[in-house]
Structure 1
Amino acid sequence: MVVDNRGLEPPQPMVRILQALGQLGPGDELVALMDREPRLLYAELERRGYTWEFTASEDGPRIRIWREPAP
């Protein structure tokens, strides 16, 4: 799933990401296109059991979010 958060003012990008995470199924991942690094989001993702990877590329910042499979 891809969520385009470019051009949105805080807290909308974080709100949209957290809402979209509720729609992910097992093994799915979310990619959010961003204008900036969502540092305030990281603690909430950790609390909810998600793993993330933030990258800044030529296309702009993006964060990939997924849940590790249970052992």
Structure 2
Amino acid sequence: MNMPIVDARGLEPPEPFERAMEALADLQPGQQFTLVLDRMPHPLLRMLDRDGYRHDVSFRDDGAVAILIARP
């Protein structure tokens, strides 16, 4: 099974956050997805920490931020 990718680059706030929230709402325990953004989403990362989601941030060669988000 391929891991879902939510590509929210080029969208105006708050749409990237809303797309991330929609993807989070669909996650079952043990599932994950990658969120691709133009910039670091500090409010989203704080919310993920608060709610116990695992996440790993990486920077792509094209300058985008990729965040692997997993529901425990």
The interval holding the TM-score normalised by the smaller chain is 0.7 to 0.9
Aligned position for 1:49: 52
Q: 2:67 aligns with which of 60, 63, 66?
A: 63
What is the RMSD computed on CA atoms of the aligned residues?
A: 1.3
Q: CA deviation at 1:47?
A: 2.3
Aligned length: 68
Give distance in 2, aligned partners of 1:44 and 1:13: 14
Does residue 18 of the first structure (1) align with residue 21 of the second (2)? yes
Q: As a proportion of its length, which structure holds more helix?
A: 2
**In 2, Cα distance between the equivalents of 1:51 and 1:9?**
25
Normalization by structure 2: what TM-score? 0.82
Instruction: State yes or no: 1:36 paired with 2:39.
Output: yes
Three-state SS of the structure 2 residue aligned to 1:45 is helix
- Aligned-partner SS, 2:42: coil
Aligned residue type for 2:42? R
User: Which 4+ stretches in 1 moved above 4 angstroms?
Assistant: none
Unaligned runs of 5+ in 1: none
TM-score, normalized by length of structure 1?
0.83
